[in-house]
Amino acid sequence: MRLAIYGAGAMGTILGAYLAKSGENIDLISRNEAHIEGLKNYGAHIIGKIDFTQKVNALLPQDMAGKYDIIFLMTKQMDNLAVVKGLTNYLASDGVICTMQNGLPELSVAKVIGENRTIGCAMAWGATMIGKGIVELTSEASRETLSFSLGTLGSQADKHFFKVVKLLEIMGDVKVEDNFIGARWAKLLVNSAFSGLSAVLGATFGEIATNKKSRVFVQKIAKECIEVTKKAKIRIEPIQGKDLVKLLDYNGPIKKKISFMIIPLAIKKHRLLKSSMLQDLEKGRRCEIEAINGVVCASGDKVNLETPVNDRIVKIVHEIENGKYKSRWQNLELFKDLL
């Protein structure tokens, strides 16, 4: 089978390196010319929690040719409809797209190619782009930490679905989710709480969880996500064996205090993570805040539930994009009225 990772940034490069190492026929595709040049000349060098170099087939989008059976979509979501429409030119007649993006991207992908050819995957690990073929794995390198939750909006009968399962099992644990939207919301809760604050504060997940002032807002964001899903009648699935609702939801002061204490322990294996949104902001790029915290806000609007902390995260990130603020720890002051 011909495979491609479209949007081979930090996480895509690591996945591609694992698959290439196992002998799979896979192309790593990115618009980042310096990164592609590094991959071509030196291979994919994975550092951090693991260290290996793997020869890979890397190319720019304009150099794509032929048809792929499976395309792993790992670009940012800002222009998903146009991106997916473009990819149909390179997708086999019975090919599928496995979207590994943040938020709830399956809806936009399925609009173009249909639910029966759309596979969704939520990843619970992270990485940082160093550049020129070098990527840092910032999550622990164990199989249970390098995990994937896989599902569809409809039937899982497509013949490529279980091939995708086998491919991802090369790298880590794969859980096939019957309640895939619930699995997506588990990842969305974590991303909203930690990636959003990482973008605003210029901090790693561990720094945010350890500091008691920022941890207050991790807790508030998580609570908003949980309340939205309750009203929307969505059941959040466990992530890497952790039932986030059981751990983080509260209705009284005792459970609230317990959930507050649990947060640093829950994120321990991912404490070095620096959100991709922060990495984009540091490079002067716009980020996908609307596909993460913005989804929580929009979902809250649909069920008539206010989401003030997520709203504030979205507002501040857009102001950082427009040059009003920089990502820095002092931005915690911008949340004081929400305490």
The DSSP annotation for 248-266 comes to H--SSHHHHHHHHHHHHHH
Phi, psi of 178 (to 5 degrees): -70, -40
Q: Edge-to-edge strands of the sheet including 52-54?
A: 52-54, 44-48, 134-137, 127-131
Q: Which helix (H) or strand (E) holds 23?
A: none
User: What sign does the CA torsion over 178, 180, 181, 185 have?
Assistant: positive
pLDDT tens by residue, 165-218: 999 999 999 999 989 999 999 999 999 999 999 999 999 999 999 999 999 999
pLDDT tens by residue, 249-302: 999 999 999 999 999 998 888 898 899 999 999 999 999 999 999 999 999 999
CATH architecture of 3-178: 3-Layer(aba) Sandwich (3.40)
Task: Compute CA distances 253 → 3, 13, 43, 217, 250, whole Å.
Answer: 51, 44, 53, 16, 8
CATH of domain 182-338: 1.10.1040.10
Q: CB of 278 within 8 A of CB of 198?
A: yes
The number of CA neighbours under 13 Å toward the Cβ of 8 is 34
Instruction: Give pTM, 2 decimals.
Output: 0.84
Reduced to 3 states (helix: H, G, I; strand: E, B; else coil), residue 271 is coil
Residues of the chain within CATH 1.10.1040.10 domain(s) are 182-338
